[in-house]
Amino acid sequence: MDITVAQRDQATVVSVAGSVDALTVDTFTEALKKQFEQGNLMLVADLNEVEYMSSAGIRALLSMVKESRGLGGDLLLAAAGGGAHRVLEMTGFMSIVKVFSDVDAALASLDT
């Protein structure tokens, strides 16, 4: 799993590639938590390059959504298709989290 972080005007974008599963989820969670610790509470997780996600990834995302909203921020997702989108749908995640096709669409939603 590869993680890159980019600061944009509207939010911090955390891009993930590869697998988010029981073996890698701690790295993913730590990357998001680090942003909270630095005061970056508005996050976009770009999951478009995630080829595989298990329930470990879903559990981490839900936990981070709760944490960010509890701190006054939010965690938006960019996931148009692929492994992450499928599992997000199967676990009913689409109704509780804002999911966009790409990062630009997620960031644009914060402009309004």
Chain contacts with another protein (rule: CB under 8 A):
21-23, 51-52, 54-56, 58-59, 62-63, 65-66, 69, 83, 87, 90-92, 95-97
Return the biggest CA–CA distance within the chain. Answer: 38
What sign does the CA torsion over 30, 9, 99, 81 have?
negative
Residue type, 26: D
| Least distance to another protein, CB of residue 9, Å | 26
| Least distance to another protein, CB of residue 49, Å | 15
Give alpha helix (H) positions in 38-102.
55-70, 82-90
Residue number, 21 or 102, with CB nearest to another protein: 21
Residue number, 7 or 27, with CB nearest to another protein: 27
